[in-house]
Amino acid sequence: MARALDLESQRWAQDVAPQRLNGHCHSELAIDIIQIISQGQIKAESITPDLGKQIQHMLLAELAAFLRSYQRAFEDFLERCKQLQNYRANVMANINNCLSFRISLEKWQAPQGLLGPLNELKSHGFDTLLQGLFWDLKPLFKRFTQTRWTASAQTLEEIVSTVETRLPEFSELRECFQEELMELVHLHLVKEYIVRLCKRRVVLKTAEQQQQLAGQVLANAEVIQHFCTQIGSPATWLHHALPKLAEIIRLQDPSAIKMEVATYATWYPDFSKGHLSAILAIKGMSSSEVKSIRSILDVHTGAPEATKALFSLIKVG
* Domain annotation covers residue 157: no
Residue 25 placed within a domain: yes
pLDDT at position 150 is: 61
- How confident is the model over 9-56, as pLDDT tens digits? 999 999 999 999 999 999 999 999 999 999 998 899 899 988 888 888
Domain identity same for 94 and 190:
no
Could you tell me which of 257, 91, 239 has the C-alpha nearest to residue 169? 91
What phi and psi values does residue 21 have, to the nearest 5 degrees? -135, 120
Phi, psi (5° rounding) for residue 166?
-90, -10
* pLDDT of amino acid 10: 97
**In angstroms, rounded to a whole number, what is the distance separating the alpha carbons of residues 34 and 60?**
11
Q: Which of 90, 98, 84, 73 is nearest to 19 (CA)?
A: 90
**Res 158 pLDDT > 90:** yes
Residue 149 resides in a domain: no
Eight-class DSSP state of 308: P
State the helix-helix crossing angle for 2-13 and 49-80, rounded to 10 degrees.
Answer: 20
Res 171 pLDDT > 80: yes
**Strands (DSSP E) along 160-299, which ranges?**
none
Which one of 122, 143, 161 terminates a domain? 122
Residues 181 and 112 reside in one and the same domain? no
**Residue 137 domain flag:** no
Q: Is the pLDDT of residue 305 over 70?
A: no
Q: Tell me, yes or no, whether 187 and 307 share the same domain.
A: yes
Under 8 Å between Cβ of 311 and 270: yes
Tell whether 91 is covered by a domain: yes
Are 118 and 181 found together in one domain?
Answer: no
Same domain, 183 and 267: yes
Answer yes or no: do 182 and 252 share one domain. Answer: yes
Same domain, 99 and 25: yes
Considering the domain architecture, whether residues 306 and 233 belong to the same structural domain is answered as yes
Q: Beta 19-21 vs 24-26: how paired, if at all? A: antiparallel
Sequence-ordered list of residues with C-beta below 8 angstroms from that of 23, at least 6 positions apart, any chain: 171, 172
114 with 25, same domain: the answer is: yes
Same domain? For 188 and 113 the reply is: no
Domain count, the chain: 2
What mean pLDDT is reported for the chain?
A: 93
Rounded to whole angstroms, how far apart are CA atoms 257 and 282? 14
The count of other CB atoms within 10 Å of the CB of residue 180 is 19
CB 140 within 8 A of CB 162: yes
CB 62 within 8 A of CB 108: no
* In a domain? residue 131: no
* 104 & 198 share domain: no
pTM attached to this predicted model: 0.93
Residue 281 is part of which domain span?
A: 174-313
State which of 57, 90, 122 marks the end of a domain.
122
Lowest-pLDDT range of 44-48, 222-226, 237-241, 267-271: 44-48
Residues 294, 180 share a domain: yes
138 found inside a domain: no
Residue 143 within a domain: no
